[in-house]
Amino acid sequence: MKEKLEILLLDDETIVGNRLGPSLEKVGYDVEVFEDPVKALDRIHEKEFDIVVTDIMMAEVNGIRILEEVRKKSDTTRVIIITGYATVALAREAMDKGAFDMIAKPFKPSELRSVIAKAADSLGYKKL
């Protein structure tokens, strides 16, 4: 097991990455922040992350596609969906396709940290 939990954070809104990235790094995670889903997808193909946090509504590649690509590459990577367009249908689709959890925007960084801690726990990491 790696010493630091490796997280890919993808959201096409700059402010989200700017806010959440440092908040996660501060508690000791190794975070790569992406705004461009195509670049994020390339990185996902290159590297197996412990956790992928992704927005849903993005141009070119949406979050469900990101989830599907992560699932193709790894059974263990936990995918956490963050979205401002949460619906019952989306929630069920995400869970059906193997998401670990879904959080509706807006949320506090502490809420994401709490979900990440659960995901880390399920991977066998000690809670930070």
Q: Report the side by side order of strands in the sheet with 30-34.
A: 30-34, 6-10, 51-55, 78-83, 101-104
Q: Which is nearer to other proteins, 103 or 123 (CB)?
A: 103
Return the range that interacts with other proteins (CB under 8 A); candidates 15-23, 52-60, 62-70, 93-101.
93-101
Q: Which of 104, 117, 123, 128 binds other proteins (CB under 8 A)?
A: 104
| Beta carbon of residue 79, minimum distance to other proteins (angstroms, whole number) | 12
117 near other proteins, rule: CB under 8 A: no
**Helical (H) or strand (E) element with 121:** helix 109-122
Q: How far is CA 42 from the centre of its chain?
A: 15
Between CA 20 and CA 25 the distance in angstroms is 9
Q: Which of 1, 15, 59, 88 binds other proteins (CB under 8 A)?
A: 88
Find the binding residues for other proteins in span 3-32 (CB under 8 A). none
Between CA 113 and CA 20 the distance in angstroms is 9
Residues forming contacts to other proteins in the complex (CB under 8 A) are 86-88, 91-92, 95-96, 98-99, 101-104, 111, 115
